[in-house]
Structure 1
Amino acid sequence: MEGNTVLLAENLMKLLFIIIISGVVFAKIGKKIKMPDVVLFIIAGIIVGPSVLNLVDFSSYPIENQLILTFGAAYILYDGGREIQLKVLNEVKGSVAVLATAGVIISAFITGFFAYKVLHIDFIYALLLGSVIASTDPSVLVPLFKNMNISPKLKQTIISESAFNDAVGAIMTFAIIGIISGGSFSLGHSIIELLKEAGGGTVVGAIFGFLGTALVSEAKVGVLRGYAGEVAVALVLASYVTAVHFGFSGFMAVFIVGMVCGNKKMFGLASVDEESYELHSKFKEVTISMLRIMIFVLLGVQMNFAILSKYWGKALIIVLGFVFIARPVSVLFSVIFDRKAKWNIREIAYLMWTRETGVIPAALAGMLISMKIQNADIISAVTSMAIIITLTFQASTAKYFAKILKLDIDSGENKEQSDKVAA
Structure 2
Amino acid sequence: MENTVEAIATNNLLLIFAAIAITGIVLGKLSEIIKLPDVILYLLAGIIIGPSLLNLISVQAFPIENNLILTFGSAFILFEGGKEINLRVLNKVKISVGMLATVGVVISALTVGLVSSKVFGLPILTALLLGSVIASTDPAALIPVFKQVTIKDKIKQTVVSESAFNDAVGAILVSTLLAVVTSGEFSAMESIKELVISTAVGISTGIIVGYILTALVSDKRVGIFHSYAPIMSVLKVALAYEIATMLHGSGYMAVFIAGLISGNKKLFGLWIPEIDFNSDHCFSENIGSLARMAIFVVLGTQVNLEALAKYWAPSLLIVIVLMFIARPLVILVSTLFDKNAKWTFKEKLFMMWVRETGVIPAALSGIIVSMKVPGYEIISSVVFMTILITLIVQASTTKFVAKKLGVLEEEEENKAEVLNIIA
What TM-score, normalized to structure 2? 0.89
Alpha-carbon separation, structure 1, partners of 2:339 and 2:319: 31
Alpha-carbon separation, structure 1, partners of 2:77 and 2:405: 28
Q: Does 1:36 align with 2:32?
A: no
Partner of 1:420: none
Query: How far does the alpha carbon of each residue in 1:127-181 deviate from its partner, in whole angstroms, 9 at most, with x for none?
Result: 3322232222343334444664222322222222223223443454455552785
Contact 2:76 2:288 in 1 (8 A): yes
Query: How far does the alpha carbon of each residue in 1:65-107 deviate from its partner, in whole angstroms, 9 at most, with x for none?
Result: 2222222222222222222111111111111111122111111
Contact 2:299 2:366 in 1 (8 A): no
Offset, 1:306 = 1.4
Contact 1:136 1:166 in 2 (8 A): yes
Q: Does 1:48 align with 2:44?
A: no
Alpha-carbon separation, structure 2, partners of 1:210 and 1:363: 27
Partner of 2:300: 300
Partner of 1:419: none
Q: Does 1:313 align with 2:313?
A: yes
Distance 1:33-1:10 versus aligned 2 partners, 3 A rule: same
Q: Does 1:409 align with 2:421?
A: no
Contact 1:311 1:381 in 2 (8 A): yes
Partner of 2:281: 281
Can you give the 5+ residue segments of structure 1 that lack an aligned partner in the other structure? 417-423
Q: 1:355 is aligned with what amino acid?
A: R
Alpha-carbon separation, structure 2, partners of 1:170 and 1:29: 31
Report the secondary structure of 1:154's partner residue. Answer: helix
Query: How far does the alpha carbon of each residue in 1:358-409 deviate from its partner, in whole angstroms, 9 at most, with x for none?
Result: 3433444445455554433323322222122222222333333323323222
Distance 1:198-1:80 versus aligned 2 partners, 3 A rule: same
Distance 1:102-1:22 versus aligned 2 partners, 3 A rule: same
Alpha-carbon separation, structure 2, partners of 1:305 and 1:69: 21
Distance 1:31-1:363 versus aligned 2 partners, 3 A rule: closer
Alpha-carbon separation, structure 2, partners of 1:204 and 1:335: 30
Offset, 1:285 = 2.1
Q: Does 1:192 align with 2:196?
A: no
Alpha-carbon separation, structure 2, partners of 1:345 and 1:94: 17
Contact 2:171 2:252 in 1 (8 A): no
Alpha-carbon separation, structure 1, partners of 2:232 and 2:242: 15
CA RMSD of aligned residues (A): 2.5
1:159-238 equivalences under 5 Å are 159-173=160-174, 176=177, 178=180, 182-186=184-188, 188-238=189-239
Alpha-carbon separation, structure 2, partners of 1:323 and 1:124: 22
Alpha-carbon separation, structure 2, partners of 1:69 and 1:415: 46
Contact 1:202 1:253 in 2 (8 A): yes
Can you give the 5+ residue segments of structure 2 that lack an aligned partner in the other structure? 417-423
Query: How far does the alpha carbon of each residue in 1:206-229 deviate from its partner, in whole angstroms, 9 at most, with x for none?
Result: 111211121111221111021211
Alpha-carbon separation, structure 1, partners of 2:98 and 2:414: 23
Report the secondary structure of 2:54's partner residue. Answer: coil
- Overall identity of the aligned pairs, in %: 49
Partner of 2:109: 108
Distance 1:153-1:199 versus aligned 2 partners, 3 A rule: farther
Offset, 1:313 = 0.9
Alpha-carbon separation, structure 2, partners of 1:180 and 1:264: 40
Q: 2:380 is aligned with what amino acid?
A: S
Contact 2:302 2:366 in 1 (8 A): no
Q: Does 1:99 align with 2:100?
A: yes
1:267-278 equivalences under 5 Å are 267-269=268-270, 271-278=271-278
Alpha-carbon separation, structure 2, partners of 1:147 and 1:214: 33
Partner of 1:421: none
1:77-156 equivalences under 5 Å are 77-145=78-146, 148-156=149-157
Partner of 2:15: 14
Offset, 1:354 = 2.1
Alpha-carbon separation, structure 2, partners of 1:105 and 1:414: 39
Report the secondary structure of 1:265's partner residue. Answer: helix
Contact 1:76 1:142 in 2 (8 A): no
Alpha-carbon separation, structure 2, partners of 1:414 and 1:119: 50
Partner of 1:253: 254
Offset, 1:238 = 0.7
Distance 1:398-1:67 versus aligned 2 partners, 3 A rule: farther
Q: How many residues align?
A: 414
Of residues 356-365 and 249-258 in structure 1, the stretch that sits farther from structure 2 once superposed is 356-365
Of residues 312-321 and 174-183 in structure 1, the stretch that sits farther from structure 2 once superposed is 174-183
Contact 2:335 2:343 in 1 (8 A): yes
Alpha-carbon separation, structure 1, partners of 2:277 and 2:57: 37
